[in-house]
Every structure is written in structure tokens, then in C-alpha cells.
Amino acid sequence: MVTAEHLNKTFGRFTAVKDATFSVDRGEIVGFLGPNGAGKTTTMKMLTGYLPPTAGTASIAGYDILDNPLEARRHLGYMPENVPLYDDMRVMEYLDYRARLKGICGKSVREQIAEVIDKCGLEPKRKNLIHTLSKGYRQRVGLADALLGNPDLLILDEPTNGLDPNQIRQIRELIRALAENHTVILSTHILSEVEMICNKVIIIDQGEIKAADTPENLTRGLRAAGRVSIEFKGDPERVVAELEAFAPVKKVILEEPIDGWNRLLVRAEPGTDTREKAAAIITELGFPMRHIYRHIPSLEDVFVEMTRRD
């Protein structure tokens, strides 16, 4: 659905996006994840044709964004970071105006507007002036706009930025529903957001793509994977000695006891699970145990590992 090859964008001497190569398949929900200033908006603007790349190419639905910009744009709906809405228009008027700008005409204008209003839950607000809408509803208007023309691909720049937790949940559900019929690329600097809705993550930092994969694959190979915490009573030295003799275990750290319970942190090879062995060792020694837990690495761990500066 999208291919980007060696995309570069420089502003003067500053390189905002460096050699970005990635692809997005039809039906995917892809999260562009990176800190503020990483180059997410710049990359999205290049994909949507709003900003010409300094070098490199990209295509949308098989159409090159430079050679066939009109065809490429016909296949995508774009919701920019700060949705430029006309405050003194009513929701319906605005969408009508946007539809005409996009060259949707005739009878299908009305039908399409009714459809996007319905999809985005804007029915109760369709006659409201835009400046009277909450930020959550304004985002819905931006989404409805992006949906006009029923594009295959939606490119959404920070769709939940500035929303409160309830609004975030509503917009997230809406994006999830839209993803049933559209390929979606969204950007965010919020890790949990990507974890909740995306089936592919592209991590971008300082203009460079650091990783592109499913969240599961990204977390699987991580150092944090394979870490196990245990709390038990009894001689810790004996437990440590037996655990250290077990092959996948790399290091056993004795932590401060809590309420008389000894605490161990077991570091093992990524992808291994030492819980069963650890539990067996402690049980065979006849020691009571109240807790055993395998740490599940999060995208945050991946992100830290990908973007650490040391």
C-alpha cells in the first residue's frame, strides 16, 4: 500500500529525515512512534505530497508521489497534526466545502458526507458551529474530512494529541473501527497508544528509522525478556547457587528483602522462561515462596533500547 525508499528531508543544513525506507501493507495499522522532533510529521507530509522529499521516492497504492501526485492523493486521506478547521462554519458546511475541494461532486457529495458523519459519530453535532465543538469532536471532524472520498489509506498525525483520557479512548475505538476498511498510518509519541491499536510499529528517532516490526517481535528479542522476580524465605545463597548452575541463567541478583521475604532477580537469555526451574529449586529446598513473576518487556523497553545514546 505504501513504499518509501531512502526518503530524505533537509531544512537548510538540518536533516529532519534521513534515508527512511519502509513499507506498509494493505490492512495494517502502523504506528509511527518517536519523541517530539523525531521526524514523524515531516515523513507523513512527504508521503501525502505536502512536502517534496530532498531525496528518495515513495508511492501510495502503486502511484509515485512525485510522478503521479493526483492519483497518489486520491488513495489517501490525511489528518494533519493541527487540523485546520474553519471555526465559523457548521460541521456539515465544512465537510461539504472539503468534499468539493477534493473534487467529489454531484449526488455523491451528500451521501458521502452523511456516511462520514455517521462513521465518526458526528450526527448530534452536524449543525453546530465548529468553534463550539470540544477538542474531541474537532478531531472527529478532522477524521471525517480525511475519510471523504473513501480513501484506501488514512494518514493521521497525532490523532489523540491534546485529548482527555475519555476522548482518547473514543478516538482510539473509532480508528480501530476504521481500520477494518482502511490501511492506517498514525503517529504518536505515546507508547501505550501504539501497543493498544497498532499491529506494526515504526520507531523513528532523530530522523532515522530504528526499527519496523510487530510489537511482539520487537519485544521478544529484548534484554528485559527472560527476567524473573522471586520472593521466598530460606537461605538465599543455596537458591542462588542452584539457579546459577542452570544454563539459561546469566546472573542472579539478591535484592533487599521485604517484610522478611528474600527477593531475587534472575536474568536469563532473552526468550527463555526460568520460572518453572526456579520454582522447582525453591520447592525442593522446602522453602516457602509467595511470588514468582516473569517480566513482560514493553514497547517502552524496546524504545529505550533503540534510542539510547550510550
Ligand X SMILES: Nc1ncnc2c1ncn2[C@@H]1O[C@H](COP(=O)(O)OP(=O)(O)O)[C@@H](O)[C@H]1O
Contacts of residue 64, defined as CB under 8 A and 6 or more positions apart, other chains included, come to 57, 58, 72
Phi-psi region of 106 (alpha: psi -120 to 50; beta: other; left: phi over 0): left
Q: Does residue number 162 form part of the binding site for ligand X (CB under 6 A)? A: no
Handedness of CA 30, 303, 306, 265 (dihedral sign): negative
Q: Does residue number 11 form part of the binding site for ligand X (CB under 6 A)? A: yes
Residues 36-65, one symbol each (x = binds ligand X by CB under 6 A, - = not), give xxxxxxx-----------------------
Q: Which of 41, 112, 139, 188 contacts Mg ion by CB under 5 A? A: 41
Provide, rounded to whole angstroms, the least separation between the CB of residue 204 and ligand X. Answer: 7
Q: Does residue number 183 form part of the binding site for Mg ion (CB under 5 A)? A: no
CB atoms within 10 A of CB 179: 18
CB 249 within 8 A of CB 274: yes
Q: Does residue number 138 form part of the binding site for ligand X (CB under 6 A)? A: no
Scan residues 13-32 and list those touching ligand X (CB under 6 A). 14, 16
Tell me how many residues contact Mg ion (CB under 5 A). Answer: 2
Nearer Cβ to ligand X, position 41 or 219?
A: 41
Provide, rounded to whole angstroms, the least separation between the CB of residue 83 and ligand X. Answer: 15
Provide, rounded to whole angstroms, the least separation between the CB of residue 149 and ligand X. Answer: 25
CA nearest neighbour of 145 among 188, 100, 108:
100
Nearer Cβ to ligand X, position 38 or 155?
A: 38
Nearer Cβ to Mg ion, position 40 or 125?
A: 40
